[in-house]
Structure 1
Amino acid sequence: MSALPRLERPGYLRVDEPAATGSVAADRIRRRIPNILSIAGSDPSGGAGIQADLKSIAANGGYGMAAITALTAQNTRGVRAVHVPPVAFLTEQLDAIADDARVDAVKLGMLGSAEVVAAVGDWLVGTRPAVVVLDPVMIATSGDRLLDADAERALRDLLPLADLVTPNLAELAVLVGEPVADDWAAALAQGRALAAATGVRVLVKGGHLAGPETPDALVEADDTTVGFDGARIATTNTHGTGCSLSSAIATRRAVTGDWSVAVGEARAWLRESIAAGSELEVGGGNGPIHHFAGVWARGGTTTPPTPADLAAEWWEETAGIRSAIDDLPFVRRLADGSLPRDAFLDYLGQDAVYLRDYARVLAAASRLAPDADAQRFWAGSAAGALAEELASHERLLAGAAATAHPEPDATTTAYLDHLLAAVARGEYGVVVAALLPCFQLYVDLGMRLAAGGFGAAARRPEHPYAPWLASYADPGFAESTRIATGILATTAAAATPALRERMRRAYRVSAEHELAFFGAPRGGSAAEAAAPHDADGARNPATVVATATA
């Protein structure tokens, strides 16, 4: 049997970059390495400042450049002295870089004085880089103020020239003129206030709060908020985390073109670097993070996979399953209209049983989602599964008393057990991964049916199953699938390697259950409906799961 036409890079698989035109590896090779400029102070111990920025930029896939605003004498125990070179020399550094090299993103760190802030501001106005991330180094972890009053005022005036500001909680409080937030709700409120007042997105960081969790949130000027969860990592290797995170975000934003993706990827990298910090033996105070732990563990790969890469890679892993679905007699006969009606009604009955629990799993994803947009999306999908899809199934089943309210068969039960087990574990990423194949595989099949991929018979107006086939080519369903794919890919990119592997496995198993669901014998004419088309070389549904997933 000849292979059915595939939609080339379906639109619902696009996540954060234009469609690729070849293998994932080739796309990575063709990507331009961004030039990232850090404008900050120097830390001779290597854990913070320019030294940390250059390591972070390299670990996240960029080429690091540096203009030094101040020289410090410090180590892991503290700062002993600071020397600020003449401001005119800083300007010379900046002009020398801009005259010769492309600057794709700028990270601003320790600026030190009102004069330095003014010089940097003038340079930004004159060159206007595409990406500016400002880490307002104003208050040390000890609580000591690092800037005088004039410099703090100048830094506030600089904020509108930034695209993102990443203060710690003490710095955020100074920027909004309030006491330091002592809980996450207060921190979020201050972040929203700063974003609204300046028109600049703010990364609110909860690492300095008490408790087992360290949430972060990306707050846009329009109050749109994307949340990021994470359990606290028990370590004293936290020297330079603010410097490292801000430069990593600048780099990932230059690579991906998306702020929430950049924050998610930078956080994932930072967390693995913090967790591996104990491998280093540097100083007797708060030690540095291990900037290259993940790079070395991944055999030289500079960054965690991007969401677009993950969406493509996981989808490509289902190629054998998708081909096996195409070859199923049930699908072939559904497409050409020769499927016995009792087999179709039995399928719809099991699908209705499935949808009731699938809606519960969608609702669980909404409950577990870390941000309001994802919560709304999954809740809306749950409502749609019940109010629209299930209603349409029941209309088609009207009059078929034997199949209107069936008991779940073994195939349906196994699939639902897999989904409900994901919910019971309570891991948001795993739940989303388990849900996604139901979106993707139905849209893939429906879009190709609508495009005539199974032959002209599937497009005949008199086709007995035309309304059902058309429902899966609905543009609204395709758009929902695109959104769900993006949520999954972004969540996976920000996950730890171990969680990402659990997500990949849940995704794969759900795809296998989809194949089994399509391949299960249906109805009183099941033997006829599922009979192998030996002349065409189709596989028998009894062995298709094992064959496709071997």
Structure 2
Amino acid sequence: MTAVEQTTTPAASTSNRVHDRRPVTVRDTPRVLSIAGTDPTGGAGIQADLKSIAANGGYGMAVVTALVAQNTRGVRSVHTPPVGFLREQLHAVADDVVIDAVKIGMLGDVAIIDAVSTWLQETVTGPVVLDPVMVATSGDRLLRRDAEAAMRALLPHVDLVTPNLPELAVLADEPVATSWADALAQAERVSAQAGVIVLVKGGHLTGTTACPDALVDATGGLGGDRSLIEFDGLRVDTRNTHGTGCSLSSAMATLVARSGSWTEALGDAKTWLTSSLRHADALEVGSGNGPINHFAELWVSSGMTSGRQDGAGILSGWWEDIAEVRTRIDRLPFVTTLADGTLDPARFAWYLQQDAIYLRAYSRVLARASALAPTAEEQVFWATGAAGSIEAEMELHRTWLRTYAVSGMEVEPSATTTAYLDHLHAATVDGDYGRVVAAVLPCYWIYQDLGERLVGASHAEHPFAAWLDTYADPAFATANARAIEIVAGAVARANETGRDTMRRAFLASAAHEEAFFAEPIR
């Protein structure tokens, strides 16, 4: 996409402030400067920053603060170039290139912090993200203790700070938080004192499968006078997390310069980072804490075939196999009249009643997938789908059915509903995890695919607007993407016979989906 500065709309003007001090000019391809140290193995520092910026749609530039001899097992030594040379690098970039956003990483000592702080105040007009690199994942200290006060003094001159929990404690000059509530409270104190937005990361919390993140702004500047926005998440089961902090902060700098919203930036960055962590093991880099897979989504979408990407490629082929099914679904009277608002309410009520019957049984199939899942993260995903998402959707059905119920209408499962449920239950009988998840996937994927088109037909006067708008729920899109990824992983692990079994289960479920939409009132 050609980089275009959006200067003709309010969202792109300099009045679109991401912080009290600095506005943002939204660009399709923002020019993002990383000020950080190096990592010769490419997993952290400016090498990770440049990958992260590119993966999230920006043009990356880099000014080196330190040359670090390290690998995935730890840091061996650090060489710090003269501060005067650091200033020359900063001015060389700024004299020639418009800088849309800045990410700051490893600074090392007081002189470097002071030089960067002065340059920021004299030169930078766009958003600044600070990753206060103090302690590496390996435990190595990367900031001199006598520089901690200077790091705290830098906070008022940046817009967002992204510490891990040990670093947050240093910034607050307090003990490390041991609970999520304590971390949020600590972040609020840092935000209030420095006037900075704090991104709180739950990755260092122990004893939980949850991995939440939150934006904290004590001034209430997160939109709607909010001071806290939380994002749920699940911990990814991998030790290959090297460079996670560097990569997330660079992604935030890039994405806020693309959208103008810290909240939107964190939502997108979290989705991207989670995928990068899930695919990290496939890289096989180093014998310690290896790097994340920055370009996993790009490699999957381009059809590269190695490890999990092989499963994704096969799954894409299955999706193409049901192209005609999807086209026929789009043309069914139920779908076309739902889109244009002329659908008979009695027909809609019939659909909702059958769907509610289906979902009650479908939740049990998801629970079975959870029981068979090979990892704790996948177990939680399917269990959440069974206990949370399904129940929320059924409540919506009950609300609609109170409006559209027709006296005397049949409430028993139809032959079509029964056939679909029999197929799903049959997939669970032999305990084949791949077969179960392949069978449940079309309910996610086809509904998401169809919903993307149906939601475009919604408008304020549409009789089914509230129903159509449910398809725009970001949580549903995220769940669908994760379901696809899980099934792709199962495909990659399966042998030829297992893949054939999965494919037949997937194709059969797609056919049942078509029949479900096509069924008339009995």
Please confirm whether the aligned pair reaches a TM-score higher than 0.5, indicating the same fold.
Answer: yes
Please report how far the alpha carbon of residue 147 of structure 1 lies from its aligned counterpart in structure 2 after TM superposition: 3.2
The verdict on how the C-alpha distance between 1:322 and 1:428 changes in structure 2, with shifts beyond 3 A counting, is: closer
Aligned match of 1:517 = 516
Question: What does the per-residue CA deviation read over 1:231-283, in whole Å, with 9 as the maximum and x for residues that have no partner?
Answer: 321x4x5543432343344445555663111222123124423x1343x3x5x
Distance 2:79 2:142 in 1: 13
- Superposed counterparts of 1:329-408, under 5 Å: 348-349=349-350, 351-355=352-356, 358=359, 382-386=394-398, 388-394=399-405, 397-398=406-407, 400=408, 404-408=409-413
1:202 aligned to which of 199, 203, 228: 199
Match of 2:414 in 1: 409
Question: Which letter does structure 2 place at the counterpart of 1:487?
Answer: A
Q: Which residue of 2 aligns with 1:276?
A: 282
Q: How does 1:4-15 map to 2 (within 5 A)?
A: none
Report the Cα distance in structure 2 between the residues aligned to 1:76 and 1:276, rounded to whole angstroms. 15
Instruction: Output the CA distance in 2 between the equivalents of 1:231 and 1:337.
Output: 42
Percent identity between the aligned chains?
45
- Structure 1 distance, partners of 2:178, 2:248, is 22
Q: State whether residues 339 and 454 of structure 2, in contact with CA within 8 Å, keep that contact through their aligned partners in structure 1.
A: no
Q: 1:325 to 1:210 in 2, by over 3 A?
A: closer
| Equivalence for 1:434 | 443
Amino acid of the structure 1 residue aligned with 2:353: A
For the 8 Å contact 1:412–1:517, the answer to whether it is kept is: yes
Partners of 1:429 and 1:518 lie apart in 2 by: 20
In the TM superposition, what is the alpha-carbon distance from 1:136 to its structure 2 partner? Answer: 0.8
Choose 1 or 2 for highest CA Rg: 1
The residue that corresponds to 2:245 in the other structure is: 242
Aligned ranges for residues 149-188 of structure 1 at < 5 Å? 151-184=147-180, 186-187=182-183
Greater shift, 143-152 or 215-224, is seen at: 143-152
Tell me how far apart the structure 1 counterparts of residues 178 and 57 of structure 2 sit (CA, whole Å).
35
Match of 1:264 in 2: 271
Q: 1:480 aligns with which of 460, 467, 470?
A: 470
**Would the aligned equivalents of 1:429 and 1:492 in 2 still touch at CA under 8 Å?**
no
Is 1:238–1:287's contact at 8 Å kept on the other side of the alignment?
Answer: yes
1:107-164 deviations in Å (ceiling 9; x for gaps): 2111112332233233333444544332111124455554345522232233344444
Structure 1 residues 91 and 516, CA gap change in structure 2 (3 angstroms) = same
Number of the residue aligned with 1:68: 64
Q: Whole-Å Cα distance in 1 between the matches of residues 77 and 198 of structure 2?
A: 33
Distance 2:361 2:207 in 1: 31
- Aligned residue pair count: 442
| Structure-2 residue corresponding to 1:21 | none
Cα displacement string for residues 502-546 of structure 1 (whole angstroms, at most 9, x for unaligned residues): 89x9999877545323422444xxxxxxxxxxxxxxxxxxxxxxx
Q: Is the 1:196–1:223 Cα contact (8 Å) retained in structure 2?
A: no
1:40, 1:109 within 8 Å by CA — same for their partners in 2? yes
For 1:268 and 1:105, how far apart are their aligned partners in 2? 24
User: Structure 1: how far apart are the matches of 2:418 and 2:184?
Assistant: 43
Match in the other structure for 2:229: 224
Q: Which one has more relative contact order, counting CA pairs under 8 Å at least 6 apart?
A: 1
Structure 2 stretches lacking a partner, 5+ long:
1-11, 13-26, 218-226, 310-317, 368-378, 492-502
Residues 1:150 and 1:209: Cα distance change in structure 2 (over 3 Å): same
8 Å CA contact 1:272–1:293 kept in 2: the answer is: yes
Q: CA RMSD in A?
A: 5.4
Query: Would the alpha carbon gap of residues 437 and 496 (structure 1) be closer, same or farther in structure 2, given more than 3 Å must change?
Result: closer
Q: Is the 8 A contact 2:445 2:480 kept in 1?
A: no
Q: 1:489 to 1:102 in 2, by over 3 A?
A: farther
- Mean alpha-carbon deviation: is it higher for 132-141 or for 435-444? 435-444
Q: 1:413 to 1:124 in 2, by over 3 A?
A: farther
Question: Contact 2:362 / 2:421 at 8 angstroms: preserved in 1?
Answer: no
- Alignment-derived partner of residue 109 in structure 2: 113
Q: CA deviation at 1:435?
A: 5.7
Change (3 A) 1:190 1:407: same
Q: Check conservation: 2:438, 2:506, Cα contact below 8 A.
A: no
Tell me which moved more, 325-334 or 123-132.
Answer: 325-334
Q: Is the 8 A contact 1:212 1:232 kept in 2?
A: no
**Amino acid in the other structure paired with 2:245:** G
SS at match of 2:98: coil
Asked whether the equivalents of residues 212 and 232 of structure 2 are also in contact (C-alpha less than 8 Å), the reply is yes
Q: Find the partner of 2:100 among 98, 104, 112.
A: 104
Report the CA distance shift for 1:253/1:170 in structure 2 as closer, same or farther (over 3 A). same
Q: By how many angstroms is 1:97 displaced? A: 0.9
Secondary structure of 1:224's aligned partner = strand
Q: Which amino acid letter does the alignment assign opposite residue 249 of structure 2?
A: S
Give the aligned residue type for 1:515: E
Deviates more, 1:224-233 or 1:289-298: 289-298
After superposition, residues 477-516 of structure 1 pair within 5 angstroms as 477-483=467-473, 486-491=474-479, 497-499=485-487, 513-516=512-515
Q: 1:195 to 1:348 in 2, by over 3 A?
A: same
1:389 deviates by: 0.9
Comparing 257-266 and 174-183, the one that deviates more:
174-183
Cα distance change of structure 1 residues 293 and 361 upon mapping to structure 2, 3 Å threshold: closer
- Are 2:100 and 2:257, in contact at CA under 8 Å, matched by a contact in 1? yes
